Amino acid sequence: MFFRKRRKKQKSLQKHNQVEMFEVKPTQDYVIDHGKTERAKQSIDTNSNEAQVEIDNGELSKQIKKAMNESPDLQIRSLYKESRLITIFFMKGAINEQALHEDVLAIIMKLSAQHITNEELKSNIPISRIQVSHQVTEICSNLMDGWIFIHIQDEQDGLLFNLSQPQYRPLFQSMNEANVLGPKLEFTESLETNAQVLRQLIKDEDLVMESYTLGRRAPKEVRITYMKGIADEENVKTFRERIQSIDVDDILDSSVLIQLIEENVYSLFPQFIMTEQPQRFAYSVLGGRIGVLVNGSPMAVLGPVTFFSFFESTEDLYFRWNVSTFFRLLRFVAVFISMAFTPVYVAALTYHYEVIPSALLVSLGQSRANVPFPPVMEALILEGAIELLREAGARLPTKVGQTIGIVGGIVIGQAAVQAGLTSNILIIAVALSALASFTSPNYVMGTVIRVIRFPLIILAGIAGGVGLTFGLTFLLIHLLKVTSLNRPYLAPIYPWRFRDLTKSIIRIPHLYSTERSSYNNPQDKVKLKENRKKQKKDIDE
């Protein structure tokens, strides 16, 4: 209704009245929270010469069409105000069309021809984010972000207005890191939403967010987040250098980013923590860690971390200190059981019958009387079946997956015993090892523990206790060599830091936890100033 055509005049300009459609690749507009604005100046086509071309009044539509590679989503509309052409470019589905009609087109139609200038449009259109541009690449990049571009005939520059309407899911309860106590919110794929949630948790101007653009073909915004005055400058510098050194086509997810910046790329063990809980992210940043938010990923990254950090749960902060300490120690015991229980069973039955009590040895002999496989093969078959059930349950829909996991485990276990393929006692050992691996609050670390179990079983079957000892020793030596942001992975055990034990392996009352962990080397070490005085009360009071 706002578009007019003049059929008798300016016939040479009628081509602007048609809708032209071209193909694009998504990109983003990036803002650094220090007040500086950074634009991703990525070329739409790396082999194109349009990257440095300025707009031409007579060939503007052709320039943008060529740069956008004939996109079917590009929309071009033309308006005339007393023979003066106004051309509007936008991407279908990427903008709020209601705002386009009410806040842009309606204002333009009300202005007289002499007031149709860039300055007048900037003053009258009620949109906060406005840019002036004359570079074709910058215009196309903003169009894909949900901006509209308005060009007035005979003007050297055009105006970009942000009418973006990104499609993101709303905030929901955390599913992968569910808590009984404490906040239940999780991050989403929207970086702006995640940043706002984080600022609601940390209302401090010292919360710094540095913005970077990664990806040549599909640029994405990445923000390094830390507390100024708390985070170690060396850690921030290391993180910054590794982020800036990345040169890839696309960053699919924060998990891919981790693999591009970690030191030990061949290690099974994760060297950064991924979390979907804003509360855990905020707590870690306040403790001196550095976080990374990636646009399009609901998982945030935290570092540096230790091996013991993966067995800490946010819920530990909400329980009483003695209960939290019990749960943490239980997780460490469960990790050892998950790794070593089945290999110890294989080693004992293969080489070390003397370590098995006599009464239990009789039961083992009876249960294995009809089993045709050696213990190592028996254990590998059963462990493989457990992993198949777990993987199938994870890939199927939720209700079906749970049913398959429970019913499949019962049916396969019972059938395997009756068929003489395995013994009852091994089923108990494998089931206990599987349950123990699920006690890890971090899914990635739990998966690593299950994978490590297989080579340990093979070593135990080849050389018994000697092979198992060799495997565990090799594992310990590897962990001693692993680092996270150039920090030791096994701290506070190696190097030994007694004071940090209360912040990783055990937990003490909040009243006495007055300092931040020295592992992160925080600038401000004190987090709680103890002003409470002990009062002695008389018995009769």
Beta pairing, strands 300-303 & 487-488: unpaired
Q: Is the pLDDT of residue 168 over 80?
A: no
Q: What mean pLDDT is predicted for residues 378-390?
A: 89
Element (H, E) at 390: helix 375-395
> What distance in Å separates the CA atoms of residue 143 and residue 410, rounded to the nearest whole number?
56
Pairing of strands 30-31, 290-294: unpaired
Would you state the pLDDT for residue 113?
80
pLDDT-wise least confident of 1-15, 114-128, 271-285, 415-429: 1-15
Where do we find the tokens 């971090």? 442
Look up the pTM and report it: 0.79
Q: What is the DSSP letter of 100?
A: I
What's the gap between Cα 497 and its chain centre?
A: 30
Band of pLDDT at residue 480, cut at 50, 70 and 90: very high
Q: In this predicted structure, which of 12-16, 63-67, 438-442 has the lowest mean pLDDT?
A: 12-16
What's the rounded mean pLDDT across residues 304-319? 92
Task: For residues 354-383, give the mean pLDDT.
Answer: 88
Burial 418-447 (b: 16+ CB within 10 A, else e): eeebbbebbbebbeebbebbebbbbebbbe
